[in-house]
Amino acid sequence: MCTPQGIIEKIGCLICDEVVKNAIKAATYVRHYKANLENLEAEMRRLEDRSEIIERKVREAEDSGKEVEAAVSHWRTDVEGMKQGIQELVGQRIAGQNMHCFVCSCPNIKGRYRLGKLAEEKTEAVKKLTQDSHFDEIAHRKPPPPELEFPSNENYVTFDSRTPILKEILDALNDPKINTIGVYGLGGVGKTRLVEEVRKRIRENGTFKQAPLVAVSKNQNVRDIQSKLASELFLTLDAAADDKRRASDLWHKFFNGERYLVTLDDIWREVDLKAIGIPLTDGKTGCKVVLTSRNEGLLKKMKVDRSFLVAELSELEALALFKKKVGNSADSPQLSLLASKVCQKCKGLPVAINALGAALEGKPLHAWKNALEKLERCMLTNIEGIDPSVFASLRLTYDMLHSENAKSCFLICCLFPEDAQIPIDDLMRHCVAGRWLAETPRTLDEARNEVYTVVGTLKSCYLLSDGRKENVVRIHDVIREIGIKIARDDKAFLVEDGIHDWPETPENRPPYLVISIRSGNINQLPDLLAYPQLHTLIFKYHNSTRLKVPDSFFIDMKKLTVLVFKRMCLLPLPSSLAKLENLRMLCLNKCELGDIKILGDLNTKLEVLSLRGSDIEALPPEIGQLTRLLLLDLRDCNHLRVIPQGVISRLTKLEELYIPDRFDKWEATTDKKQDTSSNVSLDELRSLTDRLTTLHIHIPDVMLLPEKQLKFENLKRFKVSVGSMFEDYEDFSGTSILKLVGIPLKDEFTSLMDKAEELYLQRLVGLKKVLFDLEYLLAKPKSVSFSNLSILVIQSCDNLRYLFSPSCARGLLQLKRLEITSSLIEKIVGFDGEEDEDELTVCFSKLKVMTLENLPQLISFYPQKDKTTSTDRKFSTHTQSLFNEKEYNNLIWKFVGDCLLRFDLTSNLHDSAFVPTDDTSPNQSQLSYFILSGNQMSTYFTWTVFDLGTDPSVRPHKLKF
């Protein structure tokens, strides 16, 4: 039985035990304080070793343009804090090595206890930091700035009847009860344009992390949709994985704590969102989905939460749009009534109104009368899902093309898949090899110029539109369907998507001249194809199973001129391929290839050979027999390791040469005797430079360049990297790109710098000596203009003081993107050497993106000039704003979205470092995305950036530090 006395005794025992334990622990701290400190130093050395590894990886990631993971940044901050704490502790240890009492020689028990205890605690904390340093990922690819993610929707026209629909869709996307939205209407009514505008606006207000849009089309395929989604999300899916695994990867991407808006455009049958990997939102994470279709019933079947009809334009809206395309002549007394009647035939569908209006612009009265008659005759044609009036309008637009080249190019575009991004270079290759141009061009460059001219004509007639990147075009799905019917009826073309059996030779119709098939459903090809008149054969297979080509497949295709196979198994190549003596273009893209030496037998006429993305490991010596080749494309052949010596140098007619970005097996020298056991050397390019106008090449080491300088003066298009290869995440859209990393700048490359549209420079050696004895990177002597430069990226070039000379800055009329990171640069524009210049006005009229990052020595964009007398001009070096009034007016006006502005404040900058102090309303500029950030930043500040539009009364808040 517990008595009060017993309870008191037990409590006393417990207290005594605890006191004894604490005393023993304290004595241990005192006795072993030196050992604890030594253990701490040992653990600290391990942490510093890990920290060096992490810092190196961080530098590599930042140099590559990646964004460091937040967990890594937090860890680095914790490590720095730990280092400072340890340094203080070490200082205490040094001060306390003779820790004795002031009164006597007894040891300072209190000091030793404190050191021993702190050392043990710090040791455990250091161990944990070391353990936490093993990150799955150090950095990730940065998403594109909004201006690049959403190219301007120039073709979107605001109509009174569409404005309420746009608002209702935006409101529905903000409604937590609505997850799926349907948009339906006739083909060509403008559904895609509307949802593109929706996703652009919804991303600008920050409601969703990303807003991918994928065109599904008639022959929808889960794998294709997954691939397109991944591309939009900057996510890499395993190509070898099955659809379920890929769906799982997409699912986890969407359920990462963010919200996404997914648009599936132009669906023709039910879509299984789960099979693709699209999870609907739970309010905080996941996806909201927008579906567009020509079929309202299909959207009801899929049980969308809300659906919206995009109706045809009202008569007044249609006529207003038509007159806008035709011009003022439509209001003349002669044409006014005719214009109204012609416009009525378009039934309020923008795709028809735009095309027909552009075709009739500037035409005389008799052309209008003829157009109306043809429209009435063509109204009987029936195409599924397309109003007959649309066919009549677009057929007439095609017929009114005066250029046969334009008609041919338009029909070639219809051979590409629905909603494809069609490279103009691919159109050029078809036009040259297929002899589709009225006059055979003398060179590929001449052909390209002609095709660009033709494409411009087709775009002005609204038969083609701009693609997502430069040098790429698209064709509206409705226009493509009509083009396919025209091609089938007039030219004996066959274009099929998703068929299950290979088509037979038509009866009671002309034999096929062109066949384009895209399918993943065909299980077997016929042993022999009886198409004696066939001129062009395109077959693109999209299935993971192998589809082999029979050995005798090509025997009866004597007239075949153009052959394009994609994703085919050609192990081995069919022997009948070598019998195609009229073949001028052969594309075996993304194919499984083994021994390809029989291609050497195609030496009679072959002009274009593309093996892009194939799995070849070696180019056989027999390729050197193709002496008529004008173009050799080996891009994305990432397994290619062998190009025998002498093969390239024998192809003396080459005008375009594309070597894989990852090919780096160049020999340093070339023996006088050709030795096919040796690899190619750069010296072999010397025999091609007189004719070569296009070159894609990676040079891993500048020492591989031959002693005698290579001449690149004739190059008009190039993608050249030296010192570091192009990475997959680097976004290139230009035709002339130069990347130089960690090399001494040689004369071969200075001529390319002037021609470059996109210039990437990192850790260059000898800039001061090579570039005109100035400290500018881009000075501007009379022979150099940099007039083509649209993208300039500078990284880790510490020997630069200034980036531009004033005269050079004036000439950068095409500059769209400027990125400067990790440099000791002082001014973007410097006046040194040009003291006689008047004050410079910087107005990069096309600048869209500017990034100034990790620039600890930056003083200003450019210094202001002090004019003490009319004859004595000096340049101010006193403390000043980062941007002066004129720069601010010209550059920093129109922003989109919110961003964190960070800068390493140096002694050269004061509290008005970013903007001038006056309240003058700035002029409007095009800059839409701007980043300022620094390394080891002592001050952080946030500024909300507004889309200021055209209202001059709205001004951004001034920055406060």
Where a domain ends, among 476, 501, 536? 476
pLDDT of 327 > 90? The answer is: no
Structure tokens at 151: 């190219």
> Residue 166 in 3-state DSSP?
helix
Rounded Cα distance, 741 and 762, in Å: 5
Q: Are residues 356 and 421 in the same domain?
A: no
C-alpha–C-alpha distance, residues 427 and 447, integer Å: 10
Q: Say how far apart CA 621 and CA 595 lie, in whole Å.
A: 11
| pLDDT at residue 91 in the model | 61
- pTM (predicted TM-score): 0.75
Q: In which band, very low, low, confident or very high, does the pLDDT at 571 lie, cut at 50, 70 and 90?
A: confident
Residues 79 and 110 in one domain: yes
| 518 domain residue, yes or no | no
Residue with more model confidence, 30 or 527 = 527
Residue 464 has pLDDT above 80, yes or no: yes
| Residue 765: per-residue pLDDT | 67
Whether the pLDDT of residue 7 is over 60: the answer is: no
Q: Which residue has the higher pLDDT, 474 or 764?
A: 474
pLDDT tens digits, 107-130 = 556 666 666 677 777 778 888 888
For residues 808 and 782, the answer to whether their CB atoms sit within 8 Å is no
Residue, of 627 and 764, whose pLDDT is higher: 627
Of the candidates 371, 400, 429, which is a domain's last residue? 400
**pLDDT score of 906 more than 50:** no
Q: Is residue 60 part of a domain?
A: yes
pLDDT (tens digit per residue) in 591-626:
999 899 999 999 989 999 999 999 999 999 999 999
pLDDT computed for residue 833 by the predictor = 53
- Residue 750 has a pLDDT of 79
Structural domain contains residue 431: yes
Q: What's the sign of the alpha-carbon dihedral 339, 345, 349, 352?
A: negative
Provide, for the chain, the percentages of residues in helix, strand and coil under a 3-state DSSP scheme, each rounded to the nearest 5.
35, 15, 50
pLDDT at 889: 43
Confidence of residue 766 (pLDDT cuts 50, 70, 90): low
Establish if 173 belongs to a structural domain.
Answer: yes
Task: Clarify whether residues 82 and 167 are in a common domain.
Answer: no
Could you tell me which residue, 734 or 914, shows the higher pLDDT?
734
Token reading at 782: 């009379």
* DSSP secondary structure of 865-888: EEESSSS-EEE--SS--SS-HHHH
Do 173 and 136 fall into the same domain? no
Query: 816 and 847 in contact (C-beta within 8 Å)?
Result: yes
223-282 pLDDT per residue, tens: 889 988 988 887 888 877 888 999 999 998 888 888 899 999 999 889 999 999 999 988
Domain span holding position 134: 4-141
Q: What is the pLDDT of residue 791?
A: 87
Give per-residue pLDDT as tens, 942-955.
233 333 333 333 33
Same domain, 290 and 174: yes
566's tokens: 């994609």
**Amino acid making up residue 674:** Q
Q: How confident is the model at residue 583 (pLDDT cuts 50, 70, 90)?
A: very high
State whether the Cα torsion 104-109-110-111 is positive or negative. Answer: positive
Rg (CA), the chain: 34
Mean pLDDT, the chain, rounded, equals 78
Q: Give the model's confidence band at 801: pLDDT under 50 very low, under 70 low, under 90 confident, else very high.
A: confident
Is the model more confident about 503 or about 938? 503
Return d(Cα 902, Cα 855) in angstroms, integer. Answer: 11
Look at 193 and 849; give whichever has higher pLDDT.
193
Better-predicted residue by pLDDT, 783 or 428: 428
- Asked whether the predicted pLDDT for residue 447 surpasses 70, the reply is yes
Amino acid (one-letter) located at 365: L
Q: Which of 833-837, 928-932, 934-938 has the lowest mean pLDDT?
A: 934-938
Q: What is the rounded CA–CA span in Å between residue 713 and residue 702?
A: 19
Q: How confident is the model at residue 708 (pLDDT cuts 50, 70, 90)?
A: confident
DSSP for 234-249? T----TTS-HHHHHHH
**Lowest model confidence (mean pLDDT) among 139-148, 440-449, 678-687, 916-925:** 916-925
Would the pLDDT of 98 be above 60?
Answer: no
Residue 187 lies in a domain: yes
Confidence check: pLDDT of 915 > 90: no
Q: What is the mean pLDDT of residues 907-930?
A: 39
pLDDT tens-digit readout, 584-597:
999 999 999 989 99
Task: Evaluate whether residue 586 is within a structural domain.
Answer: no
pLDDT bin (cut points 50, 70, 90) of residue 457 is very high
Q: Which residue has the higher pLDDT, 705 or 955?
A: 705
Same domain, 351 and 237: no
pLDDT number for residue 952: 33
User: Does one domain contain both 394 and 419?
Assistant: no
pLDDT of 31 reads: 61
pLDDT at position 130: 86
Percent of the chain exceeding pLDDT 90 equals: 32
> Are 43 and 87 found together in one domain?
yes
Q: Which of the listed ranges 24-33, 132-141, 468-477, 952-961 does the model predict with the highest average pLDDT?
A: 468-477
**pLDDT at residue 782, rounded to an integer:** 47
Provide the percentage of residues in the chain whose pLDDT is more than 70: 75
Residue 161 vs residue 622, higher pLDDT? 622
| 241, part of any domain | yes
Burial of 651 (0-12, 13-18, 19+ CB in 10 A): buried
Same domain, 431 and 359: no
Of 369-378, 565-574, 845-854, the poorest mean pLDDT is in: 845-854
pLDDT at 867 over 70: no
pLDDT of residue 58: 84
Burial class (CB in 10 A: 0-12, 13-18, 19+), 951: exposed
CB 226 within 8 A of CB 215: no
How many structural domains is the chain composed of?
4
Do 390 and 412 reside in the same domain of the chain? no
- What is the domain-level CATH number for residue 197? 3.40.50.300
**What confidence category does residue 539 fall into, taking pLDDT thresholds of 50, 70 and 90?**
very high
- Residue 720 above 60 pLDDT? yes
Angle at 148 between CA 142 and CA 153, to 5 degrees: 150
- In this structure, is residue 636 part of a structural domain? no
Residue 38 or 3, more confident: 38
**pLDDT score, position 522:** 86
Among the candidates 88, 113, 141, a domain finishes at: 141
DSSP string, 816-868: -EEEEES----EEE--TT-TTPPPP----TT--EEEEES-TT--BSS--EEES
50: which residues sit within 8 A by CB, 6+ positions away? Answer: 130, 133
Same domain? For 170 and 79 the reply is no
The CATH number linked to 413 is: 1.10.10
Q: Are residues 115 and 253 in the same domain?
A: no
